[in-house]
């Protein structure tokens, strides 16, 4: 377990997963074991969305990849590279074609193992600042590698009437619940606010969109995404890929309590 602390803020990280963010005694993150979801955060990479209707196959220029929902990154363990009282850097590395055990098999998937035809390195860095928590994702690997990226954090809810605000739109929890597993899409957005017992701002760079998901009234996932997967059929998910250039790609999430 890795702990960061600064000026009344405490961040708890379990093998790269953000499992707690407490500010002046108030916990902002959904807790494992509570109704709703077994995790607190995860990453969706190199694809976002379900692949079952496409027989778990995704087209790439280097051949078909075998991917389950949201890709294979979350099936791989993080390695802690370095840390301090206010910073922690975690990393995952993947060699093209390596078979990765699929935790959804056999109950929720027919695929025992997943694989991807490109090398990549994925870094997740936490920085605790006086203004809040900054999470930076850095992707490097083969030039021309296709990918999508989504960040999937779950926030704890305390009241019966939480409100998500962005620009001139207000979204209440009933709207999110009504959409179900497809998640409520918010296109062309770089920041949202959650008003509950406390107020929280989530700002992003590099993603471009959000989607919101929950099946229970005690938590909500506010997820920055590079592509909303339900705009295409599952067999055409490759249409939402971005392409990695010569250098690294960086994506940022800023979680700022009010």
The pLDDT of residue 62: 95
Q: pLDDT at position 77, please?
A: 96
- The ranges of the chain with pLDDT < 50 are none
> What is the per-residue pLDDT for 167?
83
Residue 116 pLDDT: 98
Q: Which of 39, 48, 44, 45 is nearest to 18 (CA)?
A: 39
**For residue 67, what pLDDT is reported?**
96
Go through the chain and tell me how many residues it has. Answer: 258
The pLDDT score that the predictor gives to residue 74 is: 95
What Rg do the C-alpha atoms of the chain give, in angstroms?
18
How far the first Cα of the chain sits from its last, in Å, is 26
Residue 67 and residue 104 in contact, taking contact as beta carbons nearer than 8 Å: no
SS3 (DSSP) at 177: helix
At residue 168, the pLDDT reads 82
Phi then psi dihedrals of residue 44, to 5 deg: -105, 110
Task: Indicate the pTM of the whole model.
Answer: 0.95
Nearest to 66 by CA among 39, 107, 38, 105: 105
Contact indicator for 4, 86 with CB cutoff of 8 Å: yes
Q: State the burial class of residue 101 (Cβ atoms within 10 Å of its Cβ: 0-12, 13-18, 19+).
A: exposed
């Amino acid at each position: 377990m890795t702990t960061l602390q600064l000026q009344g803020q405490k961040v708890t990280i379990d093998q790269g997963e953000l499992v707690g963010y407490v500010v002046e005694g108030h916990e902002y993150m959904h807790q494992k074991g509570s109704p709703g979801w077994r995790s607190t955060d995860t990453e969706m990479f190199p694809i976002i969305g379900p692949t079952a209707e496409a027989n778990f196959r995704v087209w790439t220029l280097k051949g078909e990849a075998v991917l389950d929902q949201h890709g294979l990154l979350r099936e791989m363990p993080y390695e802690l590279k370095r840390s301090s009282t206010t910073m922690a850097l975690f990393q995952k590395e993947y060699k093209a074609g390596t078979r990765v055990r699929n935790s959804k098999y056999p109950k929720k998937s027919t695929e025992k193992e997943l694989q991807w035809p490109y090398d990549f390195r994925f870094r997740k860095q936490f920085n605790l600042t006086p203004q809040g928590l900054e999470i930076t994702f850095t992707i490097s690997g083969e030039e021309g590698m296709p990918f999508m990226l989504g960040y999937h954090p779950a926030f704890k809810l305390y009241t019966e009437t939480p409100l998500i605000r962005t620009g001139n739109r207000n979204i209440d929890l009933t709207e999110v619940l009504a959409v179900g597993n497809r998640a409520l899409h918010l296109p062309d957005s770089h920041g949202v606010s959650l008003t509950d017992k406390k107020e929280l701002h989530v700002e992003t760079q590099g993603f471009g969109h959000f989607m919101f998901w929950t099946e229970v009234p005690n938590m909500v996932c506010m997820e920055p995404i590079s592509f909303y997967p339900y705009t295409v059929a599952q067999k055409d998910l490759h249409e939402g890929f971005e392409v990695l250039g010569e250098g690294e790609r960086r994506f940022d999430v800023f979680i700022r309590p009010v």
